[in-house]
């Protein structure tokens, strides 16, 4: 058993860890402010250093490169999105449960709400980044909390099993993200499909496409959720 | 009737117009090369000027600003995408026709093919740009050629009419883009929906999401086309 896991870390070490984390959190918040104002391309060690009153050299002690900084933003944004979506379908504090189909709608609406509240963070998650930065494992694990909530909501609906050429790949993926072992492709497939559909709507909405077409993106989302539920026989 | 439309423009004027257009085309090609290599954020008057051997000042005679240059790229990319998609479902040179449902699949696959062949151009069309640059009218008109081909392909399939809260907005939009006057919302709605779904898949594919999930994006696209055709009773 390692010393760290034994809970007997000396106090001095814990204080040092807090001192190390505090500027990191400050830097991250400043970087999010730059990102939210001007997009991910504006995030640089110089711009963020200026915002927190540090030289790029001092900043490098915490984030050795711009990529490392963007990496941290991606992980934090993924976690934030994953937690928000998962929470949207959690049982109410009063112990009440949400009707099966309604949970799917709540998840999809919360995903859209988060994306519209942080459009530049959302776009960053799916943008050209350096290959090293793409999909840091910690970010993927965090955002998968939302996906697992969607899978649970869809699994609660009786799904007719229909074999598809995608089944084996879906099962491997479900296993990789930690979905319950008995989750069938007939649940995993609709989960991927609904996510991709909501992503399509949300990115077009952020890009202003539906505004210029005079279409209500919220209604389009509800139609997609309804279609997904109909297909599952809900 | 204007002189330009009468076809009687003096030869000297036409030559001057050609001389004016030639460097513009050269600059545009150089700018596309920068975009394809490094993304839209790398497109600057300095970078493109260097590529064509012009100073930023000389470049400004043709494109007064970076925004004007990106604007031109957006219009050209929209036209290219619109023409490619529309051509995918055109009658064959032998005069043969393509089965109704197959035309929808051809359009969707060509849209994906174009996006994957020019991922950075595709991403640019839906990216943060200056508000002035967003959706230049000429670009929208060009890309709508593809949408009109999709509407025609869907209209050829018997569509059950089902009233929706989106109907009035869809009809206004159909009129705005020049869809045939009798095109019902039951065709316009599925056209928007299929476009948004294909856009969702294609952007996730470009971002590398399906690779990391181990899923075949081409199969996912075919599933979406099949779902759309099933919903229309094809």
Look at residue A231 and tell me whether its pLDDT is greater than 90. Answer: no
Mutate to test the interface with B, among A213, A219, A220 (most CBs of B within 10 A): A213
Contacts of residue B52, Cβ cutoff 8 Å, sequence gap at least 6: B23, B26, B27, B30, B59
Q: How far is A11 from chain B (nearest CA, A)?
A: 41
pLDDT over 70 (residue A130): no
Q: What is the reported pLDDT for A197?
A: 97
pLDDT of residue B11: 78
Contact A204 B196 (CB under 8 A): yes
Residue with tokens 């007064």: B64
Residue B150 has a pLDDT of 92
Q: How far apart are CA A119 and CA B230, in angstroms?
A: 34
For B228, nearest residue in chain A (alpha carbons): A227
Q: Are B199 and A203 in contact (CB < 8 Å)?
A: yes
| DSSP one-letter code for A161 | -
How many helices (DSSP H) and strands (DSSP E) are in chain A?
12, 0
Measured between beta carbons, the chain A residues lying within 8 angstroms of B214 are: 169, 172-173, 176
Å between B204 CA and nearest CA of chain A: 7
Share of chain A above pLDDT 90, in %: 59
CB contact B218 to A (< 8 Å): no
Structure token digits, residue B21: 């257009």
Inter-chain CB proximity A166 and B223 less than 8 Å: yes
B212 and chain A: CB distance < 8 Å anywhere? yes
Among B68, B139, B153, B149, smallest CA distance to A212 is for B139
Instruction: With beta carbons under 8 A apart, name residues in chain B contacting A219.
Output: 165-166
Chain-chain contact of A199 with B200 (C-beta, under 8 angstroms): yes
Contacts of A128 in chain B (CB under 8 A): 39, 120, 123
Nearest to B40 by CA among B67, B78, B15: B67
Give the pLDDT score at B225: 94
- Under the phi-then-psi rule, with left for phi > 0, alpha for psi from -120 to 50, and beta for the rest, what region is B134? beta
3-state helix vs strand vs coil in chain B, percent to 5: 70, 0, 30
Give the pLDDT score at A115.
97
In angstroms, the Cα distances linking A49 to A72, A202, B103 are 15, 32, 54
What confidence score (pLDDT) does residue B151 get?
92
Residue A44 confidence class, pLDDT cut points 50, 70, 90: very high
Instruction: State the pLDDT at residue A13.
Output: 78
What is the pLDDT, as a whole number, of residue A6?
A: 47
Residues 6+ apart with CB under 8 A from B222: B105
Q: What is the pLDDT of residue B2?
A: 45
Distance from CA of A49 to the nearest CA of B (A): 21
Taking the Cβ of residue A198 and every Cβ of chain B, the question of whether any pair is shorter than 8 Å is answered with yes
Among A41, A123, A173, select the one facing B215 at the smallest CB separation.
A173
Minimal-distance CA residue of chain B relative to A192: B220
pLDDT, position A17: 72
Best probe of the B interface among A128, A140, A160, A212, by most B CBs < 10 A, is: A128
Give the pLDDT confidence score for residue A134 in this predicted structure. Answer: 53
pLDDT at A4: 47
Give pLDDT < 70 ranges for chain B.
1-9, 18-20, 92-97, 128-139, 158-161, 234
Tokens representing B172?
């206004």
Surface of B (137-176) touching A: CB under 8 A:
140, 164-166, 169-170, 172-173, 176
Partners of A215 on chain B (C-beta within 8 Å) are 166, 169-170, 173, 192
What is the distance in angstroms between the Cα of B78 and the nearest Cα belonging to chain A?
Answer: 14
CA atoms within 13 A on the CB side of A227: 23
Residue A39: closest C-alpha in chain B: B128
Contact check, Cβ <8 Å, B169/A199: no
B193, A224: Cβ pair inside 8 Å?
A: yes
* Complex ipTM > 0.85: yes
The pLDDT, as a whole number, for residue B43 is: 93
Q: How many residues does chain A have?
A: 234
Measured between CB atoms, which of A126, A166, A216 is closest to B216? A166
- What's the pTM value of the predicted model, to 2 decimals? 0.87
């Amino acid at each position: 058993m390692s010393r760290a896991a034994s809970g007997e870390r000396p106090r001095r070490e814990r204080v040092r860890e807090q001192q190390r984390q505090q500027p990191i959190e400050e830097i991250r918040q400043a970087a999010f402010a730059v990102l939210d104002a001007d997009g991910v391309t504006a995030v640089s060690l110089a711009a963020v250093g200026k915002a927190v009153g540090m030289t790029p050299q001092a900043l490098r002690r915490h984030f050795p490169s711009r990529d490392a900084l963007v990496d941290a933003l991606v992980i934090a944004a993924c976690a934030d999105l994953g937690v928000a979506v998962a929470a949207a379908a959690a049982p109410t504090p009063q112990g009440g449960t949400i009707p099966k189909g309604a949970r799917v709608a709540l998840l999809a609406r919360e995903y859209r709400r988060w994306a519209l509240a942080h459009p530049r963070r959302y776009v960053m998650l799916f943008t050209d980044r350096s290959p090293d930065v793409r999909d840091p494992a910690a970010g993927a694990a965090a955002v998968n909390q939302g996906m697992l909530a969607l899978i649970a909501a869809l699994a609660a609906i009786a799904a007719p099993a229909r074999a598809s050429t995608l089944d084996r790949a879906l099962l491997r993926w479900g296993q990789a993200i930690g979905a319950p072992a008995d989750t069938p492709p007939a649940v995993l497939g609709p989960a991927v499909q609904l996510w991709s559909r909501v992503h399509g709507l949300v990115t077009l909405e952020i890009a202003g496409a539906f505004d210029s077409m005079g279409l209500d993106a919220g209604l389009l989302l509800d139609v997609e959720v309804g279609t997904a539920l109909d297909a599952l026989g809900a």
